Amino acid sequence: MTERPVTPLAFAQLACETMMKKFDAENLPPVGHFHYHQGVFLCGLYQTYQLTGDERYFSFIQRWVDSLINAQGNITGFNPGQLDDLQPGVLLFPLYERTKDPRYKYALDTIAYFMEHFPRTPEGGFWHKAWYRNQMWLDGLYMAGPFMSQYGAEFDKPAFLDEVANQAAIMEKVTRDDKTGLWYHAWDYERLLPWADKETGRSPEFWGRALGWAPVAILEDLRFFPENHPQRRNMERMACDLLKALLPYQDQESGLWYQVVDKGDDPNNWLESSCTCLYTAAICRAVHMGLMDEKYLEAARKGFEGVTARLGYDDNGVMIGNICIGTGVGDYAHYLARPTSVNDLHGAGAFLLMCTEAAQVL
């Protein structure tokens, strides 16, 4: 039986070992698909690599990427019409930096092209998918922003940084609830979809994981924004305002947050792991960046301890449970009925993001 780790970094390492034991890099699900499920997990693996220097982690990332990029640098098994399939492009930056392999640069340029030409709402916001006409989802900030920010900074495309800031500002404008400060999961410009409010276009609920993608993405974006960028302070404000708006909804007994964030008093609602990981990661990073006071680490510590307290262990490693599977937009019953999984890739990725950020401040 695997022993329980002691430190945040040790939790991250155990999760990496567990997932690498379960999957060969080339067989990460969905197999043969360049997709954010693998992308967020491998981003967490990369952050663990940065703290440990364990080259096995870097090699694992490279093997997965190489399984989906051919000799010419073309990405196989992806649909450039959905932001979810562009997100793993962030993994190409460290590979290109280390190897200077032109295949990685070609793939980077390909993803940048599709982001630059992605369909937009009349206000200029990215559709979530090319066939989700005029819909914006919070998830999209994570799928597009970090790549565009890093590409803009590293390849002298300042317009990309402006675009990232613009996307975040539009998302806040169309999804933010003035009463709670929380952001609704999605927005339909045309007000036609069954879930869209006929006046505002907003979806009806504050879904946990979607609310985590937004601050995690914005804080990652800021790594590449110069101090004098005219929208930097607004980006900082957005991330911190959203995190502070989430704090009143943390369950004080468990330290966790709910699947539908603002309805913790409903016994049918349930405590969800991946959103708690993302909020905790973002609070830790915001404090580490000097954007939030250290007093907020109390909530992060509760979140970290809440997630790690209900982990399971077996001979294969750690079991991260209560992870909501991939989820579309819907009503309250839709979110409550979503199945959960153990060691789901984007849940494991969120766990790694939490542990590596906590390792630096908790």
Active site residues: 139
Burial 173-191 (b: 16+ CB within 10 A, else e): ebbbeeeeebbbbbbbbee
Rounded distance between C-alpha atoms, residue 353 and residue 9, angstroms: 10
Task: Name the β-bridge partners of 135.
Answer: 188
Task: Please tell me the number of Cα atoms within 13 Å of 146 on its side-chain side.
Answer: 24
- The C-alpha atoms of residue 260 and residue 206 are separated, in whole angstroms, by 6
**Torsion, Cα of 169, 172, 178, 181 (10° steps):** -110
- Name the amino acid, one letter, at 247: L
Helices (H), the chain: 8-22, 36-52, 55-66, 92-99, 102-116, 139-154, 158-175, 208-222, 232-246, 273-288, 297-309, 332-336, 345-361
* Count of other CB atoms within 10 angstroms of residue 9: 17
Q: How many CB atoms lie within 10 A of CB 164?
A: 30
